Amino acid sequence: MALKDKVVLITGGNSGIGEAVTRRFIQEGAKVSIIGRSIETLKKMKAEFGEEILINQGDVSKYEDNEKAVQATVKQFGKLDVLVANAGVFDGFAKFADVTPDALSEAYDFLLNINVKGSFFGAKAALEELQKSNGNIIFTVSGASFYPDGGGVWYTASKHAQIGLMRQLAFELAPNIRVNAVAPGGTLTALSVIPPLRPFVKVVDNDTKASSIKKRNPLQLAQLPEDHVAAYVLLASDEARAITGEVISSDGGLSVRGLG
């Protein structure tokens, strides 16, 4: 029960890695509030976990939705200890040269509003409550935060931006708030390609996707959302009280891939 009595707000906590983190945090004793767009999946989570969870339908690219979720969390559970800024969307490896200028611009607004602006807004909305609790923030970044070809230019740029945000916040918010990140590698989730780029992307089945992911990392793992959750538990817990401004890479060893 590493997170007993902790109160956590997770954006995108109703699907993919966010859902896996939500489930594990509840197992570890936390009270969890989640933000998501799909009311159907939110209601399923509520039916499963009851009083252990609070659901908030919202769009992280809108500041007011982040603010409402923070306020609802504090009203329900009395405080906020941890923000997991996890919500994100993907560009499907769309190639820059193939995309029309109009689609390029629309994709930029769509993807960076969620991946980057959503991270800014979540942190800002949670800031006052996290200062009260000496809490912490965890961003979900990516192998694409460090290396090319973890996505297209939109996704890669957004994940690099999140690293800059995380490090600057870790500097500015110390000593009261710790700020860290988890960088998953290629993971088998239902993450879909954003609408503006779908005409420029070839859809592949899960077997093909798994094979591609295995070839990219030395451990030859087609990772599942559950493979990453322990890193979030560590960073959210008091055991990590001396850790800030750091990224835990959960990617099968991408950094030691070499030239092979």
Q: Which of 195, 171, 176 is nearest to 90 (CA)?
A: 195
Residue 239 CB coordination number (10 Å)? 11
> What percentage of the chain exceeds 70 in pLDDT?
99
For residue range 149-170, what is the model confidence (pLDDT) as tens digits?
A: 999 999 999 999 999 999 999 9
Residue 57 vs residue 216, higher pLDDT: 57
The rounded Cα 170 to chain-centroid distance in angstroms is 17
Positive or negative CA dihedral for 156, 158, 159, 164? positive
Decide: 38 and 243 in contact? Cβ < 8 Å: no
Q: Is pLDDT of 260 > 60?
A: no
pLDDT band at 207 (very low <50, low <70, confident <90, very high): confident
Quickly name the fold that domain 7-250 has: Rossmann fold (3.40.50)
Q: Is pLDDT of 209 > 90?
A: no
Domain ranges for the chain, please list them.
Answer: 7-250
Please state the rounded mean pLDDT for residues 133-156: 96
In the beta sheet, which residues pair with residue 154?
none
What's the CA gap between 81 and 90, in Å, rounded?
Answer: 28
Please state the rounded mean pLDDT for residues 4-31: 97
| Cis peptide, bond prior to residue 195, ω within 30 of zero | no
Residue 190 vs residue 56, higher pLDDT: 56
Q: Which residues are catalytic?
A: 155
Type and span of the H or E element at 178: strand 178-184
For residue range 174-190, what is the model confidence (pLDDT) as tens digits?
A: 999 999 999 998 888 87
Q: Which of 210, 228, 229 is nearest to 220 (CA)?
A: 210
Strands of 53-57's sheet in order across = 53-57, 31-36, 7-11, 82-85, 136-140, 178-184, 247-250
